[in-house]
Amino acid sequence: MIYTKLPRIVFLALAMLFAGAASAQELVAVTNSNEPASAARGPEASPQPASQASSHHKLGPLDLSVNWRFRTEAWDWFQAPTPAQNTQAFEHSLLRVGLGQKSERFEWFVEGAQDAILDLPTGAILAGRPGQLGLGGTYFAANGRGQNNANGFVRQAYVAFVLPSDGKLKLGRFTFLDGAEVSPKDKSLATLVNTRITQRLIGDLDFSAVGRSFDGAQLAFDTHAGNFTLLGARPTRGVYQIDAMGELDVDLFYGAYTVLVNSAKSSGEFRLFSLGYIDERASVLKTDNRATALRAADHNHIRIGTYGADYIHVFRTQNHGQFDVLFWGALQNGSWGVLTQRAGAFVGEAGWQPVIHVLNPFFRAGYSFGSGDNDPADGRHGTFFQVLPTPRPYARFPFYNMMNNEDFFGSATFRLPRSFVIKSELHALRLANANDLWYGGGGAFQPHTFGYTGRASGGNRALANVWDVSMDVPLRYGFSFTTYYARAWGKSVVASIYPAGTNAQFGYLETNFRF
């Protein structure tokens, strides 16, 4: 069971934490001891592109940044009838070193990365519906069934030019998060945008061991009427595989208009966006609810257009704290191979931050819907396609995403003194359509792997109930510490695939260092 793994996991993570902290006290000069929790990119962190999240130090005329993350993960996956390694523990590390220079009209930045994924389980993959038993099986399959893996790659390498009319052009390899085009001055609004809007369709999947970048061009203009952003790029390899140098035969086009809506007692943001996705990997087997023979015979490209909008507003009261509402929606058309794409998704949320000192609580509830396909033989694909997102901010126990999914959730966050953050969430999950699959994953990451997994539902809809808790602790000398635990109680969908054990657990201990 997972309990036999926990002593070793705790020891490894704490040893790395305190050994690193002790070493830092000897070798690194004292920095700001009030480093914010967002430095850790933890559950309450504002997800920012890697270049923006880094802390820069001068090296002559150049800017130097160093970021290192070490995480130990423990999984106790649902149990299939066939015995397998559903209980597992493994470690991974990601070191990023960046060098750049910025002037009034020009900027360049190069960031190299070294990744390692160690002690992967060798028996966490089963044939058929059970598939990969947690991310240990995913990492093992993605890296040629290697148990210990290490590599180096270029994470970012770009040049940026300041243009007339408050424009900026960026060319090269960089990270990109949809919804992060504007940084609101209101801190509450900025936090909500960064944690509840961004990366639903395009993200760097920074929670994974390797992450994702984009090769292309980004053009942005800040005007009195709002921000206009255009992106044309190709995603890199990586995410779950250690080789992240190459790019994929996938084209991505994105455009957004964002405007801030402010008043004396409230702040808001409205965004219109459109996205084009073309997957030209004709030999890759698409993941959908058709029979395997039909999918294998479909070599047509995926060409999908996504059109949507979101609006978020924060209202401040004198005696009752802050309230906020959030709406996000998207529609899709185009072609899914030989099928016609027609799908949609919707999110509605509300939050309240009462005035309670010391605890500083933040309560939130919401509903998320991503459409599913009703009939695999009608020539229409009705599953909402999530493109290239970072699912983890919205699915902290990462065994599901927005595709063919309904999620009723509530959360409570407590921001304690010294930037100490505790957060807990409850989710009630079910499939949007029982005739479709239970989907997981975060999009394309290999030339010959589709990027999303799917398991037949057995004609069921109820997926699972999930409870989790996380803790972010900023430390001295650029270190921070995050711990997370989640438990899932599987329902009828899970029981039809894993009848030997319908409950699952997931936890990790993570150390971050920024210089």
Question: Cα(365)–Cα(165) distance, rounded to whole angstroms?
Answer: 41
Higher pLDDT, 513 or 54: 513
3-state helix, strand, coil in the chain (%, to 5): 15, 50, 35
Give the CA distances from residue 99 to residues 27, 111, 116, 210, 384, in Å, rounded to whole numbers and listed in that order.
21, 6, 22, 19, 39
Query: How do the domains of the chain map onto residue ranges?
Result: 2-514
Question: pLDDT > 70: what percent of the chain?
Answer: 89
List the structure tokens of 161.
């030019």
pLDDT (tens digit per residue) in 197-210: 999 999 999 999 99
Contacts of the segment 70-73: beta carbons below 8 A, 24+ positions apart: 70/13, 70/16, 70/510, 70/511, 71/209, 71/508, 71/509, 71/510, 71/511, 72/9, 72/12, 72/13, 72/508, 72/509, 72/510, 73/135, 73/136, 73/506, 73/507, 73/508
pLDDT (tens digit per residue) in 251-305: 999 999 999 999 989 999 999 999 999 999 999 999 999 999 999 999 999 999 9
pLDDT grade, residue 41 (50/70/90)?
Answer: very low
pLDDT (tens digit per residue) in 407-447: 999 999 999 998 999 999 999 999 999 999 999 999 999 99
The mean pLDDT of 384-398, rounded to a whole number, is 98
Question: pLDDT > 90: what percent of the chain?
Answer: 85
Instruction: Please give the pLDDT value at position 45.
Output: 43
In CATH, what class is 2-514? mainly beta
pLDDT grade, residue 14 (50/70/90)?
Answer: very low
For the entire predicted model, the pTM comes to 0.88
The mean pLDDT of 491-509, rounded to a whole number, is 97
Strands 87-102 and 380-381: unpaired
pLDDT (tens digit per residue) in 420-429: 999 999 999 9
pLDDT (tens digit per residue) in 322-374: 999 999 999 999 999 999 999 999 999 999 999 999 999 999 999 999 999 99
